[in-house]
Amino acid sequence: MVTITAQRLEGERIRYRGDSWEFTGTVDVLQNGEVLDVEARKADRVRGTKGTLSFRLENPPTSINPGNLGDVDIELRNDDGGQFLVVSRNHRTDRYKLKNLIYK
């Protein structure tokens, strides 16, 4: 596992299972780059219930390499197919679809 800070995600809000979550910007790269776990807190709580929103790569086997991340840009996108993190790096773009939430 490698942990990175995605400044572009920090403060972004996402709705999941009826709640609004705000990303902290901390991203864990897991399972050889096929899973991205993003730390978040409930946006409507003063103390902020914490959780991890887990995104899975849509089209394996291509993914970011946790051993050699290089420069990556991560942004949140929504469309009819769901909520995604789009990861851009060195002439390559991958989409990770939101799969689940783990409360902390």
Q: What is the pLDDT of residues 85-98, one digit of tens each?
A: 999 988 889 999 99
Two structure tokens written together for 54? 């887990």
Predicted structure pTM score: 0.90
Give Cβ neighbours of residue 51 (< 8 Å, ≥ 6 apart): 21, 39, 40, 41, 42, 101, 102, 103, 104
- Phi/psi of residue 32, nearest 5 degrees: 55, 30
49 and 42 Cβ atoms separated by less than 8 Å: yes
Predicted confidence at residue 76, as pLDDT, reads 96
At 41 the pLDDT is 94
Look at 89 and 38; give whichever has higher pLDDT.
38
pLDDT exceeds 80 at position 25: yes
Residue 46: band (very low, low, confident or very high) from pLDDT cuts 50, 70, 90: low
For the chain, how many structural domains are there in total? 1
Residue 98: which domain range?
2-103
For the record, the structure tokens of 96 come out as 């990770």
- In percent, the amount of the chain with pLDDT more than 90 equals 63
